[in-house]
Structure 1
Amino acid sequence: MKKIGILFGMENTFPNAFIERVNSKGESGIIAEAVTIDKVIQAGPTEYAVIIDRISQDVPFYRAFLKNAAISGTAVINNPFWWSADEKFFNNALAEKIGVPVPKTVLLPSKQRPENTSETSFRNLAFPMAWEEIFQYVGFPAYMKPHDGGGWKSVYKVVNPQDMWHKHEETGQLVMMLQEEIEFEDYFRCYCIGQKDVLIMPYEPRNPHHLRYATEMKTTGEAREKLLETIRDYTLKLNVALGYDFNTVEFAVRDGIPIAIDFCNPAPDADIYSVGPDNFEWVVEAAANMAIERAKKQIPGQTNLTWGSFINDAVSIPAVAPVPAVAQPVAVEPEPVATPPVDTAKEVKVKAVTPKKATKAATAKAPEPVAEPEPKIPTKKAAVTKAPAKNSKIKKS
C-alpha cells in the first residue's frame, strides 16, 4: 500500500477535498490521508510515498522533516531542498535567461549590517553605490521588496529616490530589491501542476483578497488567444526551469506582453473562498491526479524529487576530458663500475676538522616580523544606503 500524505496548517477546504478526491478514484494500492508525525529520526524513512507540502514554508521543523523524508525515498511536493534555496531575485535572473519577460530589477544591500559583521566585512562594497545608474535603469515609481520574501510582506511603493531612502530605513537587515512598476491592462494568476497542467485565471491584485478573482479578461479577439497561448508557454517554461510541481505564476500584461511578476509559491492559495468554486475544482482534480501519478512512479529508497532544468542541465554538463599522459623516457641504470679492493691492513688516518666560528652576520638576530597593515576600509558606513552628495546628478523632488 502506497500512502499519499498532505501536510498543512490552518487551511481547511483544500486538504480535505484533496484527500477525498484521491480516495474517491479507487486506485488500487493507493490511499491519501493527513500526515502524522510522532518522531523524526535521522535517515529514518516515513510511511508516505508522496507528501504534498502546504505549510513548511512557515514551520522550520516541518521543513527539516521533509528533507529527511526525501533522502529516504518520499516524493515531496514541492522539492524542499530547491525552494529553501530559491529566492525572487534569482528567479528574475533565471527568467530573463530563458526568455520570459520580467520587470527591471536590482539588488540593494541591507540598511543595517548583519549581526556578527563589521565595517571590514564590507570592504568590497562601493560607497556610495552607483545610484544614478540604478535609478535610471529601474525608473520611478517602483516597488521595493525583500529579495527572498513573499506574501506581500515588507513591500513598499516608492516614487522617487528620497522616498526610497526614507522607507529603506524601516527594512533593518533585510536584503531588498528595487523593481520597476508595471502599468498593466490585464493581470493573470496561473496555476501549474505537474509541470504540464495550466489554469489561467484573470486576477486583480488591487482588489480586496476575497475579490481578486472576481474579474474578467479585458483583451479580446485574436489578441486574446495569442496572449493566452503565450502565457501558458511562459508558465510552463518557468516551472520546468525551476522544478516546481505545484505553483502559481502571476503576469502583468503591458502593451500586449505578459511580464512575469511572481512565480515562487511553494504553497499557493487554493482556498475555495478565495479562488472560487470552479477554479477550486480544477486545482483539486489536477493535484489529485498528479499525486497519484507520482505515487505510482515512486521507487522506495531512491530519490524521488523533482529538479528543474536549471539544476539538471548543470549536473549533465560533461566533465572536462583528461589530458592524455605523455610517455616519459625510461631511465636505464648504468653498468656497475668495479672498485679496487681496499687494503685493510693499512691504517687509514682521518684528519679531524674543527668547525669554524660563526661569523657576525650569521650570529646576528633575525629581523622582527613586520606586522600586517590594517586593511583599508573604503567607508565608515558600509552596507548602509545614503543619499548622494550635494553634487549628485539626482534631482531632489
Structure 2
Amino acid sequence: MKKVGILVGREKSFPEAIIKTINERGHGEVVAEMIKVGGIPLNQEKRYDIIIDRISHEVPYYRAMLKRMALEGTYIINNPFWWSADDKFFNYSLASKLGVAIPKTVLLPQHSYIPDISSESLRNLEFPIDWEGIADYVGFPAFLKPHDGGGWKMVTKVNSIEQLLYHYNQTGTRCMVLQEAIEYEKFVRCYCIGQKKVLIMPYDPTKPYLSGQQYMNIENYLSPELSARVEEDVIKICHALGYDINTVEFAIKDGIPYAIDFMNPAPDAELASVGEFNHNWFVNAVAEFVFEKLSGEIKQPEYRWLSLLNGNDSTVQKKKLNAKKEKTKRKETTKKSKTKKKGE
C-alpha cells in the first residue's frame, strides 16, 4: 500500500476533495490522509510516499519536517529545498532570460534592518539610493511589493515618486521590488500541474482576494494564438522552476502577455473562492499527477546535499570517471580474451 499525506492550513474544500478523490481511485492500494506530526526524531522512518504541501511556507516547523522526510525518500509537492531558496525577483530574472515578457522591475534595498545591523554592516550599499533613476527606469504607475511575498500582501500601487517613498518607508525589514504596472486589457491566472497541464482562468485582480469574485467565467476569453502563447510560457516557467503545482499570472496588453507573478507553489483552490469548475479541474489534475508519480519509481530531485554527503563535486566526478574507465577496461579485456580463444 502506498500513502499520500496532505499538509494544510485553514483551507477545507481542497484537502477534503483531494483525499476523497485519491482514496476512491486508489481502491485501498493508495491511501491519502491528513498528516499528524509532533516531535520529529533524527531516525524518523519513512511514513509517506508523497506529501502535498500547502502550508509550510508559513510554518517553519513544517518546512524543516518536510526536508527531513525528503531525506527518507518521500516525494514532496513542492520541493521544500527549492521553495525555501526561491524568490520573486530571481523568478523575474530567470523568466526574462527564457524569453517570457516581464515588466520592468528593480530590486530595492530594505528600508530597515534588525538591531545588530549598523551602518558599518552596510558599507557596500549605495547611499543615497538613486530614486529618480529607479523611477525613470520603471515609470509610473508601478507596484511596490515584497520580493518573496504572496496573497497580494503588502502590494501597493504608486503613481509618483512621493507615493513610492511614502509607502517604501512603511515596509520595515521586508525586501521589496518596484515593478512597472501594466495597464492591461485582459488578465489571466493559470494553474499548472506536473509542469505540463495548464488551465487558463480569466481573472480580475481588482476584486478582493479570496472573495470568490476574482475568477470570471468567460468563454473564448483569449484568441487561440494568445492562449497557445500563454500556455507555452506557463509550462516554460514552471519547468524551469521545477514546481509541480503553481499558478502564473499574466497582464495582457497589446497582445503581449506579461508574466507578473509565478511564485505560488500553494495556490488557492478553495471551492468558494475559485468556483466549481476551476476547483474540480485542480483536484482532478493533482490526483492524476499523484497517481502518475506512484505508477513508477519516484525519482528524487538532485538535492545538493547528495553530492556533499559523498564528498565535493570534483571527488564525485573523479569517482564516476574512474568507474567508467574501469568498466571500459573490463570490456576490452573480455573482448580480447574471446578473440584469442577463437584464434586457437
TM range (shorter): 0.7 to 0.9
Contact 2:212 2:275 in 1 (8 A): no
The residue aligned with 1:395 is none
Tell me which amino acid in the other structure corresponds to 2:91: N
Tell me which amino acid in the other structure corresponds to 1:2: K
Tell me which amino acid in the other structure corresponds to 1:197: K
Change (3 A) 1:245 1:43: farther
Tell me which amino acid in the other structure corresponds to 1:252: A
Q: Secondary structure at the match of 1:114?
A: coil
Deviation at 1:65, TM superposition (A): 0.7
The residue aligned with 2:214 is 212
The 5 Å alignment of 1:1-397 reads: 1-26=1-26, 29-208=29-208, 209-216=211-218, 224-299=223-298, 304-305=300-301
Change (3 A) 1:54 1:139: same
User: Separation in 1 of the partners of 2:278 and 2:50?
Assistant: 24
Give the structure-1-normalised TM-score.
0.73
Deviations 1:311-345, CA, capped at 9 Å, x for gaps:
xxxx9xx989xxxxxxxxxxxxxxxxxxxxxxxxx
Deviation at 1:280, TM superposition (A): 1.1
Contact 1:202 1:217 in 2 (8 A): no
Q: Secondary structure at the match of 1:162?
A: helix
User: Separation in 2 of the partners of 1:28 and 1:13?
Assistant: 22
Change (3 A) 1:142 1:306: farther
User: Separation in 2 of the partners of 1:12 and 1:123?
Assistant: 48
User: Separation in 2 of the partners of 1:47 and 1:275?
Assistant: 32
Deviations 1:125-166, CA, capped at 9 Å, x for gaps:
122233332111100111111111111111111111111111
Deviations 1:223-242, CA, capped at 9 Å, x for gaps:
x0001000000000000000
Runs (5+) with no aligned partner, structure 2: 304-312, 319-344
Contact 1:245 1:306 in 2 (8 A): no
User: Separation in 2 of the partners of 1:219 and 1:13?
Assistant: 27
The residue aligned with 1:372 is none
Deviation at 1:293, TM superposition (A): 1.7
Question: More deviation in 232-241 or 132-141?
Answer: 132-141
Question: More deviation in 162-171 or 107-116?
Answer: 107-116
Considering Cα pairs closer than 8 Å and 6+ residues apart, tell me whether 1 or 2 has the greater RCO.
1
Deviations 1:23-77, CA, capped at 9 Å, x for gaps:
1113563211111214311252331000000111111111111110001100000
User: Separation in 1 of the partners of 2:220 and 2:132?
Assistant: 37
Identity of aligned residues (%): 49
Contact 1:185 1:218 in 2 (8 A): no
Contact 2:106 2:179 in 1 (8 A): yes
Contact 2:140 2:160 in 1 (8 A): yes
Tell me which amino acid in the other structure corresponds to 2:218: E
Contact 1:188 1:200 in 2 (8 A): yes
User: Separation in 1 of the partners of 2:200 and 2:295?
Assistant: 28
Deviations 1:243-283, CA, capped at 9 Å, x for gaps:
00011111110111101011001210000111111111111
Q: Secondary structure at the match of 2:143?
A: strand
How many residues align? The count is 305
Contact 2:201 2:216 in 1 (8 A): no
Tell me which amino acid in the other structure corresponds to 1:304: Q
Q: Secondary structure at the match of 1:3?
A: strand
Change (3 A) 1:259 1:295: same
User: Separation in 1 of the partners of 2:19 and 2:128?
Assistant: 55
Q: Secondary structure at the match of 1:25?
A: helix
User: Separation in 2 of the partners of 1:217 and 1:123?
Assistant: 55
Question: More deviation in 82-91 or 111-120?
Answer: 111-120
Runs (5+) with no aligned partner, structure 1: 308-314, 321-397
Tell me which amino acid in the other structure corresponds to 1:285: N
Change (3 A) 1:305 1:51: farther
User: Separation in 1 of the partners of 2:302 and 2:213?
Assistant: 34
User: Separation in 2 of the partners of 1:298 and 1:34?
Assistant: 23
Deviation at 1:113, TM superposition (A): 2.9
Deviation at 1:215, TM superposition (A): 4.8
Deviation at 1:214, TM superposition (A): 2.6
Change (3 A) 1:127 1:38: closer
Question: More deviation in 98-107 or 43-52?
Answer: 43-52
Contact 1:43 1:68 in 2 (8 A): no
Change (3 A) 1:76 1:306: farther
Tell me which amino acid in the other structure corresponds to 1:261: I
The residue aligned with 1:312 is none
User: Separation in 2 of the partners of 1:153 and 1:118?
Assistant: 28
Bigger Rg, structure 1 or 2: 1
